[in-house]
């Protein structure tokens, strides 16, 4: 690729050249990457909007004083909401992040932009086919929800849509790997991959495993649905499908953590205190995180205790160790950066963080909410014996709204706010409103998640249920009302994001492009950083507080379990 | 910085700070303790997820559940008085949209082996002590798999069974009950 490199410096003007430079980060942006990146990101946001409006209908149905939808419509809406959010919003956004982390971070072009467009067309086509099928299928078919557990009667076209989407996503992963590979071959960077690219590569590797699992499950189920296979093993389907179901949310995890490093850097100039520690934590994800798919079979027939303990415990909690390390390393990076800027004190540096910057607000809201709401419950609910008390209750969606919505979605919103400025070259129409949106959405989700978990854990209210009043179960109208209202607040917060993002792309003030060529920024300051003493008192204190909360909740779960009648 | 290759090139050899070392030690210790906690509970705890499973055809299991109910004196699907099993093995079948038999009368303090399986799709065996909402346990019921759930109810009372896995329209009406009485 020496040809392009040699004709770059100054030979073409900024408007016609193949590269331009981001004035804030100094990153060189190749024109081939911008259109697919922006189109994937905008598609993601559209699905977020659709999923959000559907979320409103679900929240108002589960709030039984309102009970908006009849059961038949409830399941249609639940299916579309789960696919729009957990699959379409997240994966389109992740594709955008992969293109950013490969081509843009490595100051390189997107190789095979044609394949990137084909990937996009397949993903969009597959998602529309699947969505249209569940919307218009005839009543003899079951709604698949997210999981389409065999042997439910699933419409074959839905499965075809899901497979086409997966093929598209697979191709997008190929574009990412090819871009990183070519960049390394052509010397676009020296030494190891930048941390953001490394984290994205971790997400992409997990995605390969995930999509292979999904492909196997869906292909077998399609053969069953069209009658080629006469029987299908229902438990085997569950085990294989969850490689996709759980794995896809681990792509989110890796992409979200990568986003946190990115947001911390863009808003405070933070650099990881130790590349070794941060990268080792990412490697722990690759080694152990997909074992977590077993969390879904802790109360299933057909699996042994040893299998459950080994897998659900991520071997020896390797993946949990990874997350706990990031939980320290990211605030530590911020603390070091702020201390270097002259802000001292035990926790005094925190007051000088850029709380008014929407991208920082996204970090500051999503990281603790992910840890406290999603992380702790992920460990407790995923413990072999403790799972009996929560399996298939409302506490489970409570857990993953803590991880995927309060965690991943808010982090991605922060990335979107940053990327719109850096790559979209528009000033936010209102940074103040964007910051407010982040806190509003975070608050709504926090209350929503706590009420869901409370109803599931202490009342045993089932998930995926259209009408608890038809059962003899006791419930709490007050908690349900809080859940409904906080759900509505969160949807308003989420809609505000869509409004701001789309409004900025259409009406935001233009930002300037930098000159065509700029030498790669030197990482010289890093050497100096390592010779400073690492004063991380503040971060250690915050982490110890988190640890205390963690242990209290973990112990409470065991105490509650011991109060049950004898089982086993 | 996270957007450029790490510097210096020997970044792997750089030493860690003191605070980092403290946290890393805590993390490793926490992971190991939580891992050990699960086998320890198998030894000392009274609530452990059952694993005994048999691969069966759904029709075969259904026949077994029917025979059990007939032998114990009730064949109609709605036996309001409930079936009082004489032995310790209890067979419960799940199908859209009900439990068969749908009312069981069991003795407190006696260890029953509750067999569950499904005739059609996935269901959820979710059992709740009436009046004490946090007293509940949940298990997946999978067609083709006969899962044995050993349970000893320590207290008399009504235990409601609801289906806790989406099984189609009508899922919410899939209810059953276990009446636990003091030993005779």
- Interchain proximity B144–A233, CB inside 8 Å: yes
Q: Which of B28, B47, B55 sits opposite A564 (nearest CB)?
A: B47
| pLDDT confidence bin for A401, thresholds 50/70/90 | very high
Minimum Cα–Cα distance from B155: chain A residue: A565
- Interchain proximity B49–A387, CB inside 8 Å: yes
Range 95-124 of A in CB contact (< 8 A) with B: 105
- Please, are residues A536 and B20 in contact by the beta-carbon 8 Å criterion? yes
Range 421-480 of A in CB contact (< 8 A) with B: 457-460, 462-468, 470-474
ipTM over 0.90? The verdict is: yes
Q: How many CA atoms lie within 13 A of A67 on its CB side?
A: 12
Whole-number percent of chain A with pLDDT over 70: 93
Provide the mean pLDDT of chain A.
91
Measured between beta carbons, which residues in chain A are less than 8 angstroms from residue B152? 565-567
Letter string b/e over residues B142-172, b meaning 16 or more CB atoms within 10 A of that residue's CB: bbbbbbbbebbbeeeeebbbbbbbbbbbebb
Whole-number percent of chain A with pLDDT over 90: 87
Q: Does B7 touch chain A (CB under 8 A)?
A: yes
What is the distance between the alpha carbons of residues B124 and B122, in angstroms, rounded to a whole number?
A: 7
Mean pLDDT of A342-358: 93
Bridge partners, B111 (sequence order):
B152
| pLDDT confidence bin for A514, thresholds 50/70/90 | low
The size of the A-B interface in CB pairs under 8 A is: 314
In three-state form (DSSP H/G/I as H, E/B as E, the rest C), the secondary structure along chain B is CCCCCCCCCCHHHCCCCHHHHHHHHHHHHHHHHHHHHHHHHHHHCCECCCCCEEECCHHHHHHHHHHHHHHCCCCCCCCCCCECCCCCEEEEEEECCEEECCEEEEECCCEEEEEEEECCCCEEEEEEECCCCCCEEEEEECCCEEEEEEEECCCCEEEEEEECCCCCCCHHHCEEEEEEECCC
- More confident: A516 or A283: A283
pLDDT(A145) > 90 = yes
Instruction: Kindly report the number of other CB atoms within 10 A of residue A432's CB atom.
Output: 10
Confidence (pLDDT) at B111: 97
Q: How far is A240 from chain B (nearest CA, A)?
A: 15
- Please, are residues A500 and A361 in contact by the beta-carbon 8 Å criterion? no
| pLDDT confidence bin for A532, thresholds 50/70/90 | low
What is the distance between the alpha carbons of residues A360 and A172, in angstroms, rounded to a whole number?
A: 29
Q: Which of B1, B20, B167 sits opposite A536 (nearest CB)?
A: B20
Q: Which of B20, B120, B154 sits opposite A277 (nearest CB)?
A: B20
Confidence (pLDDT) at A521: 37
Mean pLDDT of A126-151: 96
Q: Which of B142, B155, B168 sits opposite A142 (nearest CB)?
A: B168
| B101 prior amide bond cis, ω within 30 | yes
- More confident: A527 or A311: A311
pLDDT(A7) > 70 = no
Q: How far is B86 from chain A (nearest CA, A)?
A: 20
Measured between beta carbons, which residues in chain B are less than 8 angstroms from residue A460? 126, 128, 133-134, 136, 138
Minimum Cα–Cα distance from B154: chain A residue: A565
Instruction: Give the CA distances from residue A105 to residues A116, A120, A199, A369, B3, in Å, rounded to whole numbers and listed in that order.
Output: 17, 21, 12, 28, 6
- More confident: B168 or A532: B168
Rg (CA), chain B: 24
Rounded to the nearest 10 degrees, the angle between the axes of helix A314-340 and helix A537-562 is: 150
Confidence (pLDDT) at A512: 80
pLDDT tens per residue across span A176-199: 999 999 999 999 999 999 999 999
Mean pLDDT of B46-72: 93
| pLDDT confidence bin for A112, thresholds 50/70/90 | very high
What is the distance between the alpha carbons of residues A151 and B167, in angstroms, rounded to a whole number?
A: 10
pLDDT(A526) > 50 = no
Confidence (pLDDT) at A523: 39
Q: How far is B49 from chain A (nearest CA, A)?
A: 6
pLDDT(A524) > 80 = no
Q: Does B64 touch chain A (CB under 8 A)?
A: no
Q: Which of A315-319, A331-335, A424-428, B16-20 has the lowest mean pLDDT?
A: A424-428
Confidence (pLDDT) at A425: 85
Chain-centroid distance of CA A2 in Å reads 36
pLDDT(B73) > 70 = no
pLDDT(A518) > 70 = no
Quickly tell me which residue has 């792997």 as its tokens. B12
| pLDDT confidence bin for B81, thresholds 50/70/90 | confident
| pLDDT confidence bin for A405, thresholds 50/70/90 | very high
Rg (CA), chain A: 23
- More confident: B123 or A16: B123
Mean pLDDT of A15-20: 66
Mean pLDDT of A215-235: 96
Q: Which of A1-5, A504-508, B73-77, B116-120 has the lowest mean pLDDT?
A: A1-5
Whole-number percent of chain B with pLDDT over 90: 83
Q: How far is B155 from chain A (nearest CA, A)?
A: 8
Mean pLDDT of A516-544: 63
What is the distance between the alpha carbons of residues A377 and A234, in angstroms, rounded to a whole number?
A: 27
Query: Which residue in B7, B129, B154 has the most chain A C-beta atoms within 10 A of its own C-beta, making it the best mutation to test that interface?
Result: B7
Confidence (pLDDT) at A3: 35
Confidence (pLDDT) at A533: 65
| pLDDT confidence bin for A203, thresholds 50/70/90 | very high
Measured between beta carbons, which residues in chain B are less than 8 angstroms from residue A535? 19
Measured between beta carbons, which residues in chain A are less than 8 angstroms from residue B17? 273-274, 533-534, 536
| pLDDT confidence bin for A534, thresholds 50/70/90 | confident
Confidence (pLDDT) at B74: 60
Confidence (pLDDT) at A17: 64
Query: Which residue in A320, A321, A566 has the most chain B C-beta atoms within 10 A of its own C-beta, making it the best mutation to test that interface?
Result: A566
Mean pLDDT of B154-182: 95
pLDDT(B77) > 70 = no
Instruction: Give the CA distances from residue A276 to residues A203, A344, A444, B12, in Å, rounded to whole numbers and listed in that order.
Output: 18, 26, 36, 5
Mean pLDDT of A218-245: 96
Mean pLDDT of A266-280: 94
Confidence (pLDDT) at B80: 62
Structure-block tokens of residue A128: 């529309």
Q: Which of A177, A291, A157, A276 is nearest to A226 (CA)?
A: A157
Chain-centroid distance of CA B180 in Å reads 18
| pLDDT confidence bin for A27, thresholds 50/70/90 | confident
What is the distance between the alpha carbons of residues A502 and A45, in angstroms, rounded to a whole number?
A: 9
Q: How far is B71 from chain A (nearest CA, A)?
A: 26
Confidence (pLDDT) at A4: 37
């Amino acid at each position: 690729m020496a040809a392009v490199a040699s004709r770059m410096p100054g030979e073409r003007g900024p408007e016609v050249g193949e590269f331009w430079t981001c004035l804030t980060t100094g990153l060189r942006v190749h024109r081939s990457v911008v259109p697919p990146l922006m189109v994937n990101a905008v598609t993601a946001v559209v699905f977020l909007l659709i999923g959000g409006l559907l979320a409103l209908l679900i929240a108002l149905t589960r709030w039984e004083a309102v009970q908006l939808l009849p059961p038949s419509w409830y399941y249609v809406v639940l299916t579309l909401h789960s696919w729009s959010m957990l699959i379409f919003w997240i994966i389109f956004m992740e594709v955008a992040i992969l293109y950013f982390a490969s081509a843009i971070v490595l100051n390189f072009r997107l190789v095979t932009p044609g394949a990137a467009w084909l990937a996009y067309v397949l993903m969009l086509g597959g998602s529309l086919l699947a969505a249209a099928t569940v919307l218009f299928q005839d009543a003899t078919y079951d709604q698949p929800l997210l999981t389409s557990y065999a042997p439910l009667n699933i419409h074959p076209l839905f499965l075809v849509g899901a497979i086409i989407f997966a093929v598209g996503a697979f191709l997008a992963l190929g574009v990412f790997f090819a871009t990183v590979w070519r960049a390394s071959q052509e010397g676009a960077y020296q030494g190891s991959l930048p941390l953001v690219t490394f984290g994205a590569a971790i997400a992409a590797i997990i995605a390969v495993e995930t999509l292979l699992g999904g492909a196997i499950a869906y292909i077998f189920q399609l053969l069953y649905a069209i009658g080629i296979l006469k029987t299908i093993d229902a438990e085997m389907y569950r085990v294989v499908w969850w490689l996709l179901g759980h794995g896809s949310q681990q792509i989110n995890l890796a992409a979200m953590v990568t986003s946190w490093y990115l947001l911390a850097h863009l808003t405070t100039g933070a650099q990881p205190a130790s590349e070794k520690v941060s990268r080792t934590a990412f490697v722990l994800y690759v080694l152990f995180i997909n074992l977590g798919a077993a969390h879904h079979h802790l109360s299933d027939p057909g699996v042994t205790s040893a299998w459950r303990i080994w897998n659900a415990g991520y071997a020896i909690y390797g993946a949990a160790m990874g997350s706990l390390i990031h939980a320290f390393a990211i605030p530590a990076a911020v603390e070091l950066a702020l201390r270097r800027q002259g802000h001292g004190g035990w926790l005094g540096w925190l007051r000088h963080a850029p709380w008014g910057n929407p991208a920082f607000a996204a970090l500051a809201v999503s990281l603790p909410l992910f840890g406290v709401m999603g992380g702790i419950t992920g460990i407790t609910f995923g413990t072999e014996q403790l799972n009996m008390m929560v399996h298939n209750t409302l506490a489970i969606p409570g857990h993953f709204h803590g991880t995927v919505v309060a965690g991943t979605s808010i982090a991605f919103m922060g990335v979107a706010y940053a990327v719109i400025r850096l790559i979209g070259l528009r000033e936010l129409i209102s940074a103040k409103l964007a910051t407010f949106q982040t806190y509003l959405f975070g608050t709504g989700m926090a209350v929503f998640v706590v009420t869901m978990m409370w109803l599931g854990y202490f009342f045993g209210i089932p998930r995926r249920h259209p009408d608890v009043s038809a059962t003899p179960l006791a419930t709490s109208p007050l908690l349900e009302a809080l859940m409904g209202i906080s759900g509505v607040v969160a949807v308003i917060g989420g809609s505000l994001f869509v409004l701001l993002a789309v409004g900025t792309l259409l009406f935001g003030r233009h930002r300037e492009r930098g000159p065509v060529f700029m030498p790669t920024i030197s990482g010289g300051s890093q050497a100096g950083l390592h010779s400073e003493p690492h004063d991380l008192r503040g971060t250690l204190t915050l982490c110890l507080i988190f640890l205390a909360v963690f242990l209290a909740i973990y112990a409470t779960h065991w105490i509650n379990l011991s109060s049950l009648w004898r089982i086993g | 910085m996270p957007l450029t290759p790490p510097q210096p090139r020997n970044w792997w050899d750089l030493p860690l700070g003191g605070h980092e070392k403290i946290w890393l030690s805590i993390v490793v210790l926490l992971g190991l303790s939580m891992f050990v906690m699960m086998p320890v509970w198998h030894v000392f705890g009274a609530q452990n997820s059952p694993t005994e499973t048999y691969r069966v055809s759904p029709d075969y299991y259904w026949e077994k559940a029917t025979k059990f109910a007939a032998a114990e004196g009730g064949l109609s699907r709605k036996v309001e008085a409930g079936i009082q099993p004489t032995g310790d093995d209890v067979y419960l079948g799940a199908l859209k949209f009900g439990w068969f038999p749908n009312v069981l009368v069991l003795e407190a303090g006696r260890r029953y082996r509750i067999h569950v399986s499904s005739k059609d799709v996935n269901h959820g065996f979710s059992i709740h002590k009436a009046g004490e909402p946090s007293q509940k346990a949940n298990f997946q019921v999978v067609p083709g798999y006969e899962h044995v759930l050993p349970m000893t109810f320590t207290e008399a009372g009504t235990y409601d069974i609801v289906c806790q896995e989406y099984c189609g329209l009508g899922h919410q009406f899939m209810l059953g009950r276990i009446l636990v009485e003091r030993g005779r």
